[in-house]
Amino acid sequence: MSTYNETAPRKVTTRRLTEMKARGEKISMLTAYDYSMAKLIDEAGMDIILVGDSASNVMAGNITTLPMTLDQMIYHGCSVMRAVKRALVVVDMPFGTYQGNSIEALNSAIRIMKETGADCVKLEGGEEIQESISRILSAGIPIMGHLGLTPQSINKFGGYAVRAKEEAEAQKLIKDAHLLEELGCCAVVIEKVPAALAKRVAEELTIPVIGIGAGGGVDGQVLVMHDMLGINKGFSPRFLRRYADLSSEITNAVKHYIEDVKSCDFPNESEQY
């Protein structure tokens, strides 16, 4: 029996992302980790929702993304997928699930796709994880790449400084970007690199290049939801634009609630059965 629904919003697919790039339409991407926020973001018209391992930072309070486990990513992925009707949903593969063994990488990717129903997985790195990328793609699982500042390698970098400022690292990034496209990745995120370099990569590739701290010459932009909504008050990198100050609004609302409870103003008669 057909389940086609003419009133349902048109689902964003990996093919549609390529079409958007071809016609010059910028791609919007934002993180989400739970049902309620994913529902709001999807209904607002977001193109891509990333179930990021940044949940380690903003949801669990860890300093890095490294502690996230596969089971935790699947939990967040399931929560988001229950809410989303339109956006393409991408789930990060957490640290340790694809770097050392391509068979383990495939098994991890299969678990994510089967258990969450997500549309795509995201991996950090280029040539060094080529075998894992190829094996996952050979199973028909779409991959979004991630180059530049790759947070899972933060201990190697020693910090969150801009990457690929030196010629050798810039050339490696360009080479890796082309490799990801040649292998069959559907898109690539480039994080915190010089704008001119990111623009060059976007112009050379036919797949979408989505930037975070990579300037406006790429095919789309991604931010962490908590950052752009002003929930993470202490985080203010140069590339971040805040669209709300929810940190203050939430704090004030909670204080107001406390005052109303203490003063017996809440609940009033109209709020009782």
Catalytic residues: 191
How far apart, in Å, are the Cα atoms of 205 and each of 49, 119, 120, 202, 246?
Answer: 22, 22, 19, 5, 37
Distance CA 258, CA 253 (A): 9
* Nearest CA-CA partner of 122 in 176, 169, 186: 186
Helix (H) / strand (E) element for 189: namely: strand 187-191
Other beta carbons within 10 Å of 222? 23
Residue type, 84: V
Distance from CA of residue 150 to its chain's centroid? 12
Residue in the structure block whose two tokens are 């694809």: 98
Cα 44 from Cα 243, distance rounded (Å): 14
Q: In this structure, what is the dihedral angle of CA atoms 40, 46, 47, 49, given to the nearest 10 degrees?
A: -50
Residue positions counted in the chain:
273
- Per-residue CA distances from 81 to 29, 36, 73 (Å): 15, 11, 12
Rounded Cα gap, residues 181 and 266, in angstroms: 58
The number of beta carbons lying within 10 Å of the beta carbon of residue 64 is 15
The token duo for 271 is: 């709020």
